[in-house]
Amino acid sequence: MMDANYKISVVEDDATTRLLIKSILSKCYSVEVFETGEDCIDHAKHACPDLFMLDVGLTGINGYEVCRALKANPATASVPAIFVSGHDNLDDVLNGYDAGGEDYILKPFEAFDLINKIENVRRIERERQALLEQARASEELVSLLLGNNDENTILIKFLRSLNECDDFKSVADALLSAVDALHLEGAVQIRLQNREHTYSKSGENWPMEVSVINHVRTLDRIFQFKQRAAYNFECITLLITNMPIDNAEQCGRLRDSLAIMAESANARLLAQQSVSEKNTMQGHIQVLLNTLSQTVQRYGKRYDQARYEGAECTQVFLDELLRSFAHLGMSDQQEAPLLAMARSQCNHLIDLYDIAGDTQATLTQLSRELEDILSATPPDQR
């Protein structure tokens, strides 16, 4: 998509990479390239772009330092930044997160991935601006409602609010609201039914937050590093980025409260998943019951038809046997035992294969048992 009004400032000290990035981006955006971070910072003072793309390993001040300088300037503080790096480890990701970057892309990269990163940041930036507008509009109301709440009150309110959460998004919202009431910042990732969703004040699935949580969620149940703390459970990870480490007592209280919140949210999510699985199982049983009932009906009709046709065939056979006796000139005393023997063997042959009645009874009993299972399930769990 072409948007010549969208301006990108690229800082890259390698001439080949700089030329490659400009060649890719110039097809879609307005692009300016800089060899050093200092040049970019100076230029931004009088011409602010819509996006910065910063190489991490710059000569002179590196990309993280450039980003910090830009974020410290009110004129460029809100402009998103994407880091270009050849490394993907926790330290590098955290450095980019701390510097204020919105995303990063690894070298070497494809043109499609580069454009996709930019468009993703643009989408999230639009969502963030909308959320900021909503936050500003409700700031006075939130301050009034939560101004007098202490930590225990906030925890109790959160635990009560969980009872009204009927999906994973409402659980995330309740947890983030409690975190905000504690004057903390962070993000929450929910993993449920093979799907992942990461939420924060910045919006949904903010790339840097997703990347950090994907690293820390493999660590200990409760993991603290500097001002950050992570709470990892089966279905949820809560990341806090501004723990008050200079106040040990308050930090300890908050750590305990956050652990209770995260564990309770995880329990609620597991309960929601259990209900969903029960509903799915009930649906499967209902389908099986319907199919079984239809099968029993069809089998009964086919059985009745087969019995009728078998009786007709037996009678035809016996009639033909009697006519044959007439041609043989046999007496009644000679015909009677032969006819009785033929009739007995025909009936015995039918009885040998006549298991349809028992089969139909078994299927009918199974159908009734399935109906009993469904009728014993509370309506709100079906």
- Calculated CA dihedral for residues 214, 217, 219, 222, nearest 10 degrees: 140
Which residues neighbour 301 within 8 Å (Cβ) at sequence distance 6 or greater?
none
Q: What is the pLDDT along the chain (382 residues), one digit of tens a residue?
A: 567 889 999 999 999 999 999 999 998 999 999 999 999 999 999 899 999 999 998 988 999 999 999 999 999 999 999 999 888 888 888 888 899 999 989 888 899 999 999 999 999 888 888 887 776 766 655 554 444 457 888 888 899 898 888 888 999 999 999 999 999 999 999 998 788 899 998 788 888 888 889 988 888 899 888 899 999 999 999 999 999 999 888 898 899 999 999 999 999 888 888 776 666 666 666 666 677 667 767 766 776 676 667 667 767 766 676 666 666 666 667 667 766 776 676 666 566 555 555 666 666 676 676 666 656 555 444 4
Backbone angles phi, psi at 165, to 5 degrees: -85, 120
Pairing of strands 186-192, 195-200: antiparallel
- Separation CA 6–CA 123 (nearest Å): 13
- Separation CA 166–CA 376 (nearest Å): 23
Specify the DSSP element, H or E, that contains 22.
helix 15-25
5-51 per-position pLDDT tens digit: 899 999 999 999 999 999 999 989 999 999 999 999 999 998 999 99
> What amino acid is encoded at 69 in this protein?
A
190-209 per-position pLDDT tens digit: 998 788 899 998 788 888 88
- Residue pair 172/219 in contact by the 8 Å Cβ criterion: no
- Separation CA 174–CA 261 (nearest Å): 10
Radius of gyration of the chain (CA): 38
Closest residue by Cα to residue 177 from 164, 195, 193: 164
DSSP string, 274-342: HHHHHHHHHHHHHHHHHHHHHHHHHHHHHHHHHHHHHHHHHHHHHHHHHHHHHHHT--HHHHHHHHHHH
Residue with tokens 């309960």: 271
- Residue pair 82/104 in contact by the 8 Å Cβ criterion: yes
- Residue pair 69/80 in contact by the 8 Å Cβ criterion: no
The listed CATH number (3.30.300.180, 3.30.870.10, 3.40.50.2300, 3.30.50.10) that belongs to domain 3-127? 3.40.50.2300
- Separation CA 115–CA 69 (nearest Å): 25
Sheet holding 29-34, edge to edge: 29-34, 3-11, 51-55, 81-85, 103-106
What kind of fold does domain 146-274 have according to CATH? Beta-Lactamase (3.30.450)
Specify the pTM: 0.56
Share of residues in the chain with pLDDT > 70 (%): 73
